[in-house]
Amino acid sequence: MTTGRAGILPFTGTASPVCTGLVSQGQGWMARRRARGWGRIWRWGGMVLAVLVAIPLILTPVYLVVDPVSVPMLERYLTGRPVVREWRDIDQISDRLKAAVILSEDGQFCRHWGVDLGALRDEVEKLMAGEDARGASTITMQVARNLFLWNDQSFVRKGLEIPLALYIDLVMPKKRIMEIYLNIAEWGPDGQFGAVAGARAAFGIEPQDLDWRTASLLTTALPNPMVRLPGRPSAGMQRIAGIIAARARQYGERAACVGENGQLAL
């Protein structure tokens, strides 16, 4: 091979083995760096997911003996808004309120395992048909949402509610689930949570003193406590309360699982 001027080899159109090796090493290093980056992301994601799964797994048994605070309550605490809640043992809450809530919110509460599969199937069929769906949330699913999830409606949240409700129902007796529900449900527009705060704000009475009228009116507020005020009920609320009271009087034995010694004094 001849050399060019000053002894420099002329360019032949192919890279030298040294250059090719350096490029290959650089590409390999970049690939390994990207792989390590994705690996870190997956590890962190896995750790976050493990923590989120562990929270309800650990706290649900703890809540058998510890009275919980709900996510909406925590949100109000963190944002400096008032929270009014006084815990009350379930046997010190009116049996009429228990029956009214169960017959209105979840008529199969004492029979299912946290999820009403029949109601859920009906809601899925309505959704597939393009009809409005109510959500088929059982009381246990509402407890799961209030303790561990968020309130904005989404299929993701609903999908998480189902296994959480099954787990809660597996760990907790029905009476404890209902006791938690009656003490964390939002029952007023100004941070009232639980039957004690709701009964006092609406009627100025204690929850054990609720009669059929006040118990059923208090129940009508549950779907939207920001707007529905049982202490100043609209004609529509009074009509719904009458239906709830009549149903609870007739089928109150369906709620017996939350009564003292398995019985309700209605």
Q: How far apart are CA 115 and CA 149, in angstroms?
A: 16
Query: Looking at the predicted structure, is the pLDDT value of residue 24 above 80?
Result: no
Mean per-residue pLDDT, 244-256:
94
Proportion of the chain above pLDDT 70, given as a percent:
79
Can you read off the two tokens belonging to residue 81? 């808004």
Which pLDDT tens digit goes with each residue over 103-141?
Answer: 999 999 999 999 998 877 776 776 676 665 566 789 999
Q: Are 244 and 92 in contact (CB under 8 A)?
A: no
Which pLDDT tens digit goes with each residue over 27-77?
Answer: 667 667 776 767 777 677 676 667 767 899 999 999 999 999 999 999 999
Question: Sorting pLDDT into bands at 50, 70 and 90, what band is 252?
Answer: very high
Q: Which residue has the tokens 């009508």?
A: 220
Q: How far apart are CA 102 and CA 112, in angstroms?
A: 12
